[in-house]
Amino acid sequence: MLSRKAIGGAPMPYNRRSKNITQGVARAPNRSMYYALGYKKEDFDKPMIGIANAHSTITPCNAGLQRLADAAVGAIQDAGANAQTFGTPTISDGMSMGTEGMKYSLVSREVISDSIETCVQGQWMDGVVVIGGCDKNMPGGMMALARMNVPGIYVYGGTIRPGHWKGKDLTIVSSFEAVGEFTAGRMTQKDFDGVERNACPSTGSCGGMYTANTMSSSFEALGMSLLYSSTMANPDDEKVASAAESARVLVEAVKNDLKPRDIITRQSIENAVFADHGDRRLDERGAALSGHRARRRGRVDDR
């Protein structure tokens, strides 16, 4: 597949990176393996677009991601590119909190980032759609995009719907608060059970401005996610449509060789921080993102 733009009159291929493992006599074994996956000869001239899918059934934050990945696959194929899916790990802060398991939470951010980079760079993908839900999926995925500097876009899985009990809206924090209220004798067993069973009524990330929703809204300001995509609930059809549109936008970015570090600048990072009012979580993740962006440029404050 050739681009519309030309340099010196010669059309440029979209598969700028993947041609390293699909083109030429020496790559016949590679193509044999692709044929086993259902590829056809003409597919080797198309860009290879990765989908880093953090779908998991260990937490509601990630349990609704598969249909978003499926929508992205369809959109990529419709746009004339090849879609390649791979998984990334996740940990639920809400479940591991207060246990030894929480020690793995922040570490998982780096593991997620490294896992994405490993697949994208190892397979010479031309672009990547990162789909994540739970807290550390967010900075982990964005750090990988900034570090690799391969055309990419972030698709947030979406927030959970609010729970309800006796006319009040609930979030996962309501369940944490109920523990204290019940232990102090200020809540009945019936109300305690009611909050516990109704705080999380659907798939989606924790329903408040905690890490996942904070990071997703900042990604819009950063320019790495579609506008308005951070406010959609995971179960809603508009979230599926947004995932498909994100994939289409990414294919265009691949065609135009638009990379994350063309978008992520000092100014865009400041915009992201201001958009979320200097939230502490964003301060931490923004510092990490700045470091990954600037790593190959030699300075964190690079403009």
Q: What is the pLDDT of residues 24-54, one digit of tens each?
A: 999 999 999 999 999 999 999 999 999 999 9
**pLDDT score recorded for residue 281:** 54
Which residues belong to CATH 3.40.50.2300 in the chain? 2-160+204-294
Segment (H or E) for 284: helix 280-294
| Contact yes or no for 54/63 (Cβ under 8 A) | no
- Tell me the C-alpha distance between 104 and 253, whole Å: 34
72 neighbors 145 (Cβ within 8 angstroms): no
Residue-by-residue pLDDT tens, the chain, 303 positions: 444 443 444 445 799 999 999 999 999 999 999 999 999 999 999 999 999 999 999 999 999 999 999 999 999 999 999 999 999 999 999 999 999 999 999 999 999 999 999 999 999 999 999 999 999 999 999 999 999 999 999 999 999 999 999 999 999 999 999 999 999 999 999 999 999 999 999 999 999 888 999 999 999 999 999 999 999 999 999 999 999 999 999 999 999 999 999 999 999 998 888 887 655 555 555 555 555 555 555 454 544
Under a CB-based contact definition with an 8 Å cutoff, are residues 109 and 152 in contact? no
C-beta of residue 136 within 8 angstroms of C-beta of residue 109: yes
Q: What is the CATH number of domain 2-160+204-294?
A: 3.40.50.2300
Rounded distance, CA 158 to CA 231, Å? 7
Do 91 and 101 touch, CB atoms closer than 8 A? yes
d(CA 147, CA 109) in angstroms, rounded, equals 14
pLDDT at residue number 292: 53
Query: Look-up: residue for tokens 């509601």?
Result: 60
